[in-house]
Amino acid sequence: MKRHGLIAVLLSLLLAVTWTASPVGADPGEKAQGIGQWLKRMTLEEKVGQMMMVGFYGSEPTSDIRRLIEESHAGSVILFAYSDNIQTPDQTARLNNGLQEIASGTRLGIPLLIATDQEGGVVARMTAGATELPGNMALGAGRDPEGAYRAAQLTAKELRAVGIQMNLAPVLDVNVNPDNPVIGVRSYGESPRLVSEMGAAAVKGYQKNGVIATAKHFPGHGDTDVDSHLGLPVIDKSRAELEKTEFVPFRRAVKEGIDAIMTAHIHIPALDDTPDLPATLSKPILTGLLRKEMGFQGLIVTDSMTMSGVADYFGGVPKAAVKAVDAGADMILLTPSLSAQEQIEVFEAIVDAVRSGEISEKRIDRSVHRILQKKKKYHLFDERMVDVDQLPKRVGTPEHREIARDLANRSITLVKNEQDLLPLKLKKGQRLGIISPYSLRDRVTAYHADTSEVLVKANPTDDQIRQAVEMAKGQDVLLVGTTSSHLDPQQVKLVKALGELDKPLVAIAFRNPYDIKDYSDVDAYMTAYGFNSVSLDAVVDTLFGVNPPRGKLPVTIPGLYEYGWGLDYRQ
């Protein structure tokens, strides 16, 4: 064994002894004196590094991520699928072991906190080989907090098995705006009580199974019509209105002991009237409201500092990051859209702000103390490495997949069913036509062989619409799928063109349930709240009556259907 490798192993053993881990759920103040001693040993650069959550491109450790860990002392890493960090469970576990090995070789050998966004449904970074779950709004339609707990529990087990100890979930935004372009089905629904109950169950499911839960996006991103990735949304509500809706799930999560909360890049004048100031950069919101008033003692994590909702307003990411730390953020989230050098410049800007007196070192110490507490609480010092050979027993297991199927089956919501068109009872010789952005044909032919399908884009072109209509002319019954049709008039054009053929028409909303507002004259309408494989299976089984529709709308469809609406095949 090389000398530096031996030193790394000895450091890891020393840290495991020094930081004797207590069970998850133990008093966060336990052994605080030991953490204080470690803080005294750390340089300013090492402290600031612990506050950095960095990103990189690559399916295995690269020179860039090594540089970020060794030179800027990064204490956390975020993984994405688009950056090739997450491909399969085996690859991800080996990557994370490699990252932890690099961290073990640093002066203090403090383990990395490794995070990802595994919300379920439309936002899931780990898919191939893992258990695909329905998303939050699907779970909200199922109305079962125990289901939210089970979904979080199995997600936590699979994440921890591959070496991920922090999930940037659950979403606790209350989706009261049907035109919200960024939250939608990522929310449990429009009811603060429903979101609170489902969210609290999810928090327990994650944290009792070894993964830090991160409630987002504080103070609440559910009533926006601007995507904060692209601009700065403004919520023009009074404090009293916010208390009745947006704050409710976060207050409940704090009461339940959530260990991390992610901030939102949204401007709320009632909470801080500084022009164009996102909540992420607001001391009255992060320190005044969240810390002091709500009593939150966990980690405050920024949303990505590269998003336009924050980066475009304060002279770039480094300056915005300094302001976020000053406001009260403990962890600065950076993504691979910034190069390693650009991420190091963010780190250096925070160090410089401390050296210049703009931010006190005591302020930094408070954040690092919280971060080290969480690393100890979640056993990172003695369980940083994972056993790759155990993955088949822990990830994507038959038991987990059966849970996912059950949750998806419970979510499907039948909203409209004129002339009892559903369940489909097609006779031999009758032809079924499918027009959808997601293929259903292989699933449908298990029930009815005479099926044709035209796949279209989520924003279908005029040529695709013409092709779909030509196919549809020769069919007896039509199925059409849409996804957030309010964002693309071409989808509405497609459905209306099919409707003009005067054939029985079933529409399926594969994402937001509000789509029927745009084509209310369809004969039947069903919502799936997602388009991953488990939701598509549930949709087809429900179309043919094998799975009875049990979901209830977790949102109001304005002017058409109330919150809680949902038919079954007996009605």
State the catalytic residues: 229, 303
> What one-letter code names the amino acid at 378?
Y
Cα separation, 30 vs 8, whole angstroms? 27
Contact 422, 506 (CB under 8 A): yes
- Residues facing residue 477 across a β-bridge: 432
Contact 519, 507 (CB under 8 A): yes
> What one-letter code names the amino acid at 199?
G
Strands 118-120 and 260-263: unpaired
Strands 524-527 and 413-417: antiparallel
> What one-letter code names the amino acid at 461?
T
Ramachandran angles phi, psi of 124, nearest 5°? -150, 120
DSSP string, 333-345: E--TTS-HHHHHH
Cα separation, 284 vs 291, whole angstroms? 10
DSSP string, 355-396: HTTSS-HHHHHHHHHHHHHHHHHTTTTT--S--GGGHHHHSS
- The H or E element spanning position 451 is strand 451-455
Cα separation, 362 vs 340, whole angstroms? 27
Placement of tokens 């699907």 in the chain: 138
Residue 391: partners with Cβ closer than 8 Å, 6 or more residues away? 89, 90, 93, 161, 162
Cα separation, 330 vs 327, whole angstroms? 9
